[in-house]
Amino acid sequence: MESDTSPDTGSPVSSSDFGFAFNDVNFSDRLLRIEILPDLPGSKPDADDSLADWARNRKRRRDDQLTNAVELADQREEQILNGNMPDLEDGVTYENQEEVVAMVEELPVGGEIATDQSGHEAAQRNEASSSMDYLTVQVKTIHISSPILAAKSPFFYKLFSNGMRESEQRHVTLRIQASEEAALLDLLNFMYSNTLPRTTPTALLDVLMAADKFEVASCMRYCSRLLRNLPMTCESALLYLDLPSTILMADTVQPLTDAAKQFLAARFKDISKFQEEVLNLPLAGIEAVLYSDDLQVASEDAVYDFVLKWARVHYPKLEERKEILSNRLLRFVRFPCMTCRKLKKVLTCTDIDQELASKVVMDALFFKAEAPYRQRSLVAEETKASFRRFVERAYKYRPVKVVEFDSPRQQCVVYLDLKREECVQLFPAGRVYSQAFHLGGQGFFLSGHCNMDQQSSFHCFGMFLGMQEKGSVAFTVDYEFASRTSPSEDFVSKYKGNYTFTGGKAVGYRNLFGTPWTAFIADDSPYFINGVLHLRAELTIKK
């Protein structure tokens, strides 16, 4: 059994089953009068609506409410400017129209409450207002127990214990839309029995909205759990992330939104495979995908390029695009993991506010300049942070650190780290590639292989240096491969050579450590330090 929290003391309240007392005059001390206003044409959902229909109906009702509010504001402005009264032949005065719209406007924050001693005066007043506005108001009455409702809902607790005259009255009136009727009745039933008669996805979403409106946290938690246990789809995940902000911010619904984000992140973790689908995701969907550490992309450079592409598709106006990038999307880009060449392009990108661009690039460069132990500390500190900047994703091309020299000769020192798990996955014939780096204006890369040794007698680890671009310019490069080795943990040279690159070629050594694969990958291997293989390549252009 779940327990609720008392709105007054915060202490647990037993979730006993009082279903037998629901709408029973013998166990009730109040009469709830529910006035049901008709929905606008086409906005009332059917019981068997799909999630897509539910979302469209909700959007239509939200748009209609906004339109009505705008029209009311326009009418007020026209009345003030013209100083004219509306045509009385229309059967409605401005004051009455304003009153009805105001009551409808108040519904999203908990509905209108009207109480009186006999219950007749409020009914007559509301019926008169309704008749003048050509609205047919249906009325339902339900016998309720104020202690039960107050224990479940701060909304009802305040209503019944506010110390005012209304709290002592027997009759309480709520005014709702017709589309909310079934959900409210289900909600009231839940407050007695802790269960719901309808558990279809659309019914649960309706009750979730009502539970948020009337502050019934236990029902929100119950609906969230049932929805989370249903099969998740892209449609449902996006719908859960598009619920009103008051629901999304509730702790009781957090497990549902987390599950929706995790589903989308897993579904679209390979952006290159689902590029068109990901481009069509709404903002909440793309944020869920970009948050993931398991995003399978070539590099963080590719993430940055994709974010710009998505923003240009969905926000063609430059100012809107700048705002959405600055406030929502760029926080998901891990700039410290990007290459320096791409960071230079960030500084000149017209889609990004220049002050923000300078800040993220400066922060990224400071991180790259930190000592390795400090970088590891920064990564560890943000493992539970809302947005991660330093944690590397599951890049297809492993990040490298490069130190470049222009004199006395063009030279670079490249550092590549591989985790033991990554190396284990290479067996029996896998390869892992580094991100590109540049020397003498040409792009190079490193690669680690699981391959057979020269005599094809056993598997071993090989390391190679490749040149990206094919071109007519020939480069003669001296290279040296080294690896940190226990117990000294210093870099120890493993292989030296020189090669004339003409583009599209790779050179290296098939058995870098001169040992079989099983010894290389073993738990006591001297080449893995704290589970990481540290490789270094020194390249010098030979004149």
Asked if residue 209 belongs to a domain, the reply is yes
Is position 108 within any domain?
no
The CATH number given to whatever domain includes residue 210 is 3.30.710.10
The 3 state secondary structure assigned to 226-242 is HHHHCCCCHHHHHHHHC
Q: What is the dihedral of CA 274, 275, 281, 283, to 10 degrees?
A: 130
**DSSP 8-state symbol, 28:** -
Q: Report the C-alpha gap between 122 and 34 in whole angstroms.
A: 12
Q: Which residue has the tokens 């974010």?
A: 307
In degrees, rounded to 5, the angle at the alpha carbon of residue 67 between the alpha carbons of residues 62 and 71 is 150
Q: What is the pLDDT of residue 223?
A: 96
Q: How many domains does the chain have?
A: 2
The CATH number of the domain where 452 resides is what?
Answer: 2.60.210.10
Q: Cα 52 to the chain's mean position, in Å?
A: 20
Last residue of a domain, one of 235, 270, 301: 235
Q: Is residue 53 part of a domain?
A: no
Question: Is 174 part of any domain?
Answer: yes
Please, what is the Cα angle at 69 between 66 and 75, to 5 degrees? 140
- Choose one of 186, 211, 235: the last residue of a domain: 235
For residue 244, being part of any structural domain is answered with: no
**144 in helix, strand or coil?**
strand
Exposure string (b/e) for 317-353, b if CB count within 10 Å is 16 or more? Answer: eeeebbebbbeebbbbbbbbbbbeebbeebeeeebbe
Burial of 118 from C-beta contacts in 10 A (0-12 / 13-18 / 19+):
exposed
Distance between CA atoms of 126 and 35, rounded to whole angstroms? Answer: 9
Structure tokens of 257? 């939104």
Strands (E) in 236-295, as ranges, are: none
| pLDDT for res 497 | 94
From 200, 235, 270, the end of a domain falls on 235
Which tens digits make up the pLDDT trace of 362-406? 999 999 988 878 988 998 888 777 788 999 898 999 999 899 998
Cα–Cα–Cα angle for 464, 396, 463, rounded to 5 degrees: 15
In the predicted model, residues of the chain with pLDDT beneath 50 are 1-3, 5-14, 47, 66-134, 164, 166
What are the φ/ψ torsions at residue 201 (nearest 5 degrees)? -55, -45
DSSP assigned state of 133: T
Identify the pLDDT of residue 49.
Answer: 63
Q: Which domain holds residue 34?
A: 17-39+136-235
Q: What is the pTM of this model?
A: 0.74
- Listed in sequence order, the residues at least 6 apart from 366 whose beta carbon sits closer than 8 Å to its beta carbon are none
φ and ψ of 491, to 5 deg: -75, 130
115 is a domain residue: no
Cβ–Cβ under 8 Å, residues 535 and 481: yes
Q: What are phi and psi of 431, to 5 degrees?
A: -140, 150
Contact between 481 and 512 (Cβ < 8 Å) = yes
> Is the distance from CB of 223 to CB of 246 less than 8 angstroms?
no
Question: How many residues would you count in the chain?
Answer: 543
**Structure confidence at residue 59 (pLDDT):** 60
**pLDDT for 394:** 85
Q: Which residues contact 230 (CB under 8 A, 6 or more apart)?
A: 201, 236
Q: Answer yes or no: is 183 within a domain.
A: yes
- Is there a domain that residue 126 lies in? no
